[in-house]
Amino acid sequence: MVEGALHVRGVVLPEGERRDLWVLDGRLTYDPVPGAETVADGGWVLPGLVDCHCHVGMTPDGPYAPEEEMVAQALADRDAGALLLRDAGSPVDNRFVQHRDDLPRLIRAGRHIARPKRYLRDIGIEVEPDGLVAAVEEQVRLGDGWVKLVGDWIDRGVGDLAPLWPDDALAAAVGRAHELGARVAVHVFGEDALPGLVAAGVDTLEHGTGLTGGIVDEAARRGIRLTPTLLNVGTFPDIAQRAGKFPGYAAHMLALHRTAADRVRDAYEAGVPLLAGTDAGGVLPHGLVAGEIRALHAAGVPAEAALAAGSWAARDYLGLPGLVEGASADFVVYAADPREDLSVLAHPVRIVLRGAVVR
């Protein structure tokens, strides 16, 4: 008998084969381990869910959560089955999460990079276009292979969404990030910033509610991912209501809200790879990744593709393996097949993180 060894029997996804798997020293093996404790017998075994767009350390009350609140945020994600998080920009130092075995794996993008007075106050690093490359270099050093740019935001002089960066500055900054081995995620709501962003070769479009027309096909051709954050897009009417003296901006946000689901479906059908992300940590609480996966499906994405966007495909894109020999034992067990009924994602039977049962 090996102390601490675990055994699970079930249908392993995405392959769909009924198998036995064991956990030994925190890692998966398909070689039997005598005396292992059976912690799940039957059901469907899924690589840990992934929230590809969240903010550990940001809250509706302010951008600087104390450590205990950051722990609570990460635990809410973990207990919802999200065992891998991509933090899409945070003004606080949340690296301690990476050193706690009871919290999800965290991949950080450093701080948002924006122009002065062109993003939420106190959230990002603010620079003019001639300082963008240097800011990217700094955030590459502080992140985990990701940089977060703000691609568009309200321009009060225009009274509507407008691009932040000229195309030449974008191209130089994205090229420099790639030279340094980092990928670029970019916040973008509207249509006008997208041609420059796609031409610059950014890696992921966050929100992307303006993605339409020929830009969809070009994003697909380049392999650019889309993280639609549909739960967050559901707050656009509230944003419009608060727009006050900017009626053009308010109308634009309402239009983007009305067409968001269709644009996600069209992007998927055009071949744009999707990632599931909730944008938790601002207006929305953590622990909502199952709802985001269901929202992708409701928008017209097939259930298995929506599930992949929040599990095995997302893990692969972020550089972590699924349920393969020798991988870290990060998985969730469900009583029914989530490919057939995504509602089961809200009710995990067992959650194993780094080889330890956490639920």
| Cβ density class 205-238: b for 16+ within 10 Å, e for less | bbbbbbbeeebbebbbeeebbbbbbbbbbebbee
For the segment 105-127, the average pLDDT, to the nearest whole number, is: 96
Local confidence band at 4 (pLDDT 50, 70, 90 cut-offs): confident
Classify burial at 99, counting beta carbons within 10 Å of its beta carbon; exposed 0-12, middle 13-18, buried 19 or more: exposed
249 CB neighbour count, 10 Å cutoff: 22
Reported as a single tens digit per residue, the pLDDT across 207-233 is 999 999 999 999 999 999 999 999 999
pLDDT at 63: 83
Local confidence band at 171 (pLDDT 50, 70, 90 cut-offs): very high
Residue 216: phi, psi to the nearest 5?
A: -60, -50
Q: Which two tokens stand for residue 295?
A: 């929202």
For the segment 308-313, the average pLDDT, to the nearest whole number, is: 98
pLDDT at 60: 85
Reported as a single tens digit per residue, the pLDDT across 175-210 is 999 999 999 999 999 999 999 999 999 999 999 999
pLDDT at 1: 57
pLDDT at 229: 98
pLDDT at 282: 86
Is a pLDDT exceeding 70 seen at residue 88? yes
Reported as a single tens digit per residue, the pLDDT across 41-50 is 999 999 999 9
The 350-353 sheet, strands edge to edge:
27-29, 17-24, 6-12, 37-47, 331-334, 350-353, 356-357
Q: Which two tokens stand for residue 188?
A: 């973008």
Identify the structural domains of the chain with CATH numbers, from first to last: 6-47+322-357 (2.30.40.10), 49-317 (3.20.20.140)
| Bigger pLDDT: 64 vs 239 | 239
Cα–Cα distance measured from residue 26 to residue 107, given in angstroms and rounded to the nearest whole number:
20
Could you give the angle at the alpha carbon of 121 between the alpha carbons of 119 and 126, nearest 5°?
60
To the nearest whole percent, how much of the chain has pLDDT over 70? 100
Local confidence band at 62 (pLDDT 50, 70, 90 cut-offs): confident
